[in-house]
Structure 1
Amino acid sequence: MKTTIKDAKNHIGQEVTIGAWLHNKRSSGKIAFLQLRDGTGFMQGVVVKSEVDEETFATAKNITQESSLYVTGTISEDNRSDLGYEMQVKSIEVIQEAHDYPITPKNHGTEFLMDHRHLWLRSKKQHAVMKIRNEIIRATYEFFHDTGFVKIDPPILTASAPEGTSELFHTKYFDEDAFLSQSGQLYLEAAAMAYGKVFSFGPTFRAEKSKTRRHLIEFWMIEGEMAFYEHADSLEVQEQYVTHVVQSVLKNCELELKTLDRDTSKLEKVQAPFPRISYDDAIEYLKEQGFDDIEWGEDFGAPHETAIANHFDLPVFITNYPTKIKPFYMQPNPENEETVLCADLIAPEGYGEIIGGSERINDLDLLEQRIEEHQLDRESYNYYLDLRRYGSVPHSGFGLGLERTVAWISGVEHVRETAPFPRLLNRLYP
């Protein structure tokens, strides 16, 4: 009977065959311990010399790292294992014997590992990070479907930019100029006017020459847009969504979090509602903490965000940023029109902004004024203006960066470990 490492728990006491790769091994004169992996997990196979034929034991002792195998044996309980079971191996069929596998069980430099990313993905910790990423995606679809959102797929090639073209990748679209999308927001706003509540999940691109641990050139965004939702309504959806994702990972990725040595007590505290602090109060707090370099009207850098997040030790909304440092489409704050109805959600533990959101301008005249002030090509935004001509309503939305969220929840330091094949400044391979 063929099965997988993940499902082997359902076959205690039974003989099964698993297709696997040899992750690592150790052996003595009379016993060999094979660390097997099959994509669903990692499991130990025990080969006892006295219980197998000579050929099988010789294979177990000599087989090389990352060789592919069919391993047959009996699944037995083992309380010392993280899984709670292992295999008592009876026979081994070598599918392909690997030689000189580059990533050996020793320390390798980051550049070496990035050059071999296609193989580094096989390692136990990278496997755990990708499984957590997968659970975040699964929980995302679950949340939005359960709360009545319709999935809409905005285009990747666009003729206009939600936030200006300075950080966009330019390309030719036959005889026209086009850009790789930095957000699906404007198209989602159109969809929200048709379907009420919509979300998207897809790749976005920023031609930003940054090398920080928080930045990628290509990353994935989950975006939501909601008709008849004001700013406060949107904040509630965001905190409910993040809470759902975190709790789903805690429930379904216990082994992966343990593999990464993640302190789950910090994640267990993540429950809506989240604390909120206005931009004005954040400036005052930072000055009290000795950040004399920040002035009202400036955007926050990583040290500023980290200081604010550490104060709360939870995801925290920073609300109502100055109008001049935010995109053209954000609704003015009626209590102070030098600011807008927006919020950034800052993750704790130094991971920075994971969500940006706002109420959108719904007045045609004001939006036309903003497009002119930002010196945007009005013709490219005609469809966007139509949304204010034909049945405009209050509406709000947000976008969550998947890779930063994966980094925070899994506890890894750099976002390059949270994408299967990250695109970084000066890195387009593999």
Structure 2
Amino acid sequence: MKTTISQVSQYVGQEVTIGAWLAGKRSSGKIAFLQLRDGTGFIQGVVVKAEVEEEVFKKAKSITQETSLYVTGIIREDERSPFGYEMGVTGIEVIHEAVDYPITPKEHGTEFLMDHRHLWLRSKRQHAVMKIRNEIIRATYEFFNKEGFVKVDPPILTGSAPEGTTELFHTKYFEENAYLSQSGQLYMEAAAMALGKVFSFGPTFRAEKSKTRRHLIEFWMIEPEMAFYEFEDNLKVQEDYVAFIIRNVLENCALELKVLGRDTSKLEKMQAPFPRITYDDALALLHKQGFTDIEWGDDFGAPHETAIAETYDKPVFITHYPTSLKPFYMQPHPEREDIVLCADLIAPEGYGEIIGGSERIHDAELLKSRIEEHGLEISTYQWYDDLRQYGSVPHSGFGLGLERTVAWLSGVEHVRETIPFPRLLNRLYP
């Protein structure tokens, strides 16, 4: 019976065959322990010299790291194993022998591991991070489908910048200028006017020359937009969504979190509702904590966000930022023109902003004036203005950065480990 490691619980006491790679091994004179992986998980294969043919034990002693195999054996429960099962090996068939695998059990530097990212992904730690990433994606689709959202795919090549910044990757689109998308938001607003509640999930690009542990050049965003949703409605969806993915990661990735040494007691506290603090109050809090150099109208950096987050044991919304700090499309506060109806959701433990969202401007004249104030060409955004001309409604949305969320939930320090092949300021290989 051929099966996978993830399915061995169904075959306790039975002999099965698994296609696997040798992740590592140790042996004595009479017994060999094979660490096997097949993509679905890791399991230990135990080869006892007295219980197998001489050729089988000889293979067990000589096979090299990352050699591919068909391993046959009896599945048994094992309380000492984090996985809960092991295999009593009865047969080994070598498919392809790996020679001089470069990533050995010794310590390797980060640059070496990044140069060998295509192989580093095979390690138990990286496997665990990718499984958590996959669970967040799976839970994302479940949440939005359950809530009646429609998946819409915005274009990756655009003719303008959603946030009016210069941090764009430029390319030629035949005779026109084009840019790699930094957000699908504007297109999702158009989709919301057609379909009510929509979400996108796709790659975005920022030509930002940053080397911090929170930044990638190419990253993935989940971007919902909702017609007839105002500021408070928007925050409620964000809370429910984040709480949902945390719950699913805890339930479905317990083994992976254990492999990574994640303190899950912290994640178990992350239930909605989440605390809120206005920009004004956050600024006062920072001044009390000794950040005297920051003034009203300044944006918060990583140290500021961390200091604010440490005041709480849950993610915290920082709301109502100054208008001058935010993109042109954000709805102003009804009683204060100097602030907008927006919020950033800051993750605890120093992981920073994972969500940025706002109510969007729905008045055509106000939108036009904001476009002009930001020095943008109104003709470029004519289609976006059309959304306000033909049946405009209050609407809101947000964007969640997948990689920062993966880093937070898995507890890894740097976002480069949270995407299969990271694109960094000085890295385009492999």
Which band: TM-score by shorter chain?
over 0.9
Cα displacement string for residues 299-341 of structure 1 (whole angstroms, at most 9, x for unaligned residues): 0000000000000121000000000010000000112110000
Cα displacement string for residues 73-123 of structure 1 (whole angstroms, at most 9, x for unaligned residues): 110111111121100000100000001000000110000000000000000
> Which residue does the alignment assign to 2:411?
411
> Which residue does the alignment assign to 1:192?
192
> Which residue does the alignment assign to 2:427?
427
> Which residue does the alignment assign to 1:62?
62
**1:155 maps onto 2:155 in alignment:** yes
TM-score by length of structure 1 reads: 1.00
> Which residue does the alignment assign to 2:95?
95
Cα displacement string for residues 394-429 of structure 1 (whole angstroms, at most 9, x for unaligned residues): 000000000000000000000000000000001000
**1:261 maps onto 2:258 in alignment:** no
Question: Per the alignment, in what secondary structure is the counterpart of residue 400 of structure 2?
Answer: strand
> Which residue does the alignment assign to 1:322?
322
> Which residue does the alignment assign to 2:225?
225
Cα displacement string for residues 249-272 of structure 1 (whole angstroms, at most 9, x for unaligned residues): 000000000000000011000011
Mapping 1:20-39, distance limit 5 Å: 20-39=20-39
Shift of 1:370: 0.6
In structure 2, stretches of 5+ residues that fail to align are: none
Q: Distance in 1 between matches of 2:378 and 2:426?
A: 34
**1:136 maps onto 2:131 in alignment:** no
Q: Distance in 2 between matches of 1:204 and 1:406?
A: 16
TM-score by length of structure 2 reads: 1.00
Cα displacement string for residues 281-310 of structure 1 (whole angstroms, at most 9, x for unaligned residues): 000000000001111000000000000000
Cα displacement string for residues 150-192 of structure 1 (whole angstroms, at most 9, x for unaligned residues): 0000000000111114101000000000000000000000000
Task: Report % sequence identity.
Answer: 79
Question: Per the alignment, in what secondary structure is the counterpart of residue 339 of structure 1?
Answer: coil
Question: Per the alignment, in what secondary structure is the counterpart of residue 98 of structure 1?
Answer: coil
Question: Per the alignment, in what secondary structure is the counterpart of residue 311 of structure 2?
Answer: helix
Counterpart residue type for residue 212 of structure 1: T
Question: Per the alignment, in what secondary structure is the counterpart of residue 232 of structure 2?
Answer: helix
> Which residue does the alignment assign to 1:112?
112
Counterpart residue type for residue 59 of structure 2: T
Q: Distance in 1 between matches of 2:379 and 2:92?
A: 67
> Which residue does the alignment assign to 2:76?
76
Counterpart residue type for residue 16 of structure 1: V
Shift of 1:8: 0.6
Counterpart residue type for residue 65 of structure 1: Q
Question: Per the alignment, in what secondary structure is the counterpart of residue 337 of structure 1?
Answer: coil
**1:288 maps onto 2:288 in alignment:** yes
Number of aligned positions between the proteins: 430
Question: Per the alignment, in what secondary structure is the counterpart of residue 108 of structure 2?
Answer: coil
**1:4 maps onto 2:4 in alignment:** yes
Q: Distance in 2 between matches of 1:351 and 1:83?
A: 29
RMSD over aligned CA atoms reads: 0.5
Contact map agreement 2:269 2:313 (CA 8 A) in 1 = no
**1:305 maps onto 2:313 in alignment:** no
Counterpart residue type for residue 98 of structure 2: A
Cα displacement string for residues 109-149 of structure 1 (whole angstroms, at most 9, x for unaligned residues): 00000000000000000000000000000000000000010
**1:40 maps onto 2:46 in alignment:** no
**1:167 maps onto 2:167 in alignment:** yes
Q: Distance in 1 between matches of 2:126 and 2:293?
A: 38
Q: Distance in 2 between matches of 1:329 and 1:70?
A: 58
> Which residue does the alignment assign to 1:367?
367
Q: Distance in 1 between matches of 2:289 and 2:155?
A: 44
Counterpart residue type for residue 49 of structure 1: K
Q: Distance in 2 between matches of 1:180 and 1:378?
A: 20
Q: Distance in 2 between matches of 1:387 and 1:416?
A: 38
Q: Distance in 2 between matches of 1:356 and 1:90?
A: 55
Question: Per the alignment, in what secondary structure is the counterpart of residue 380 of structure 1?
Answer: helix
In structure 1, stretches of 5+ residues that fail to align are: none
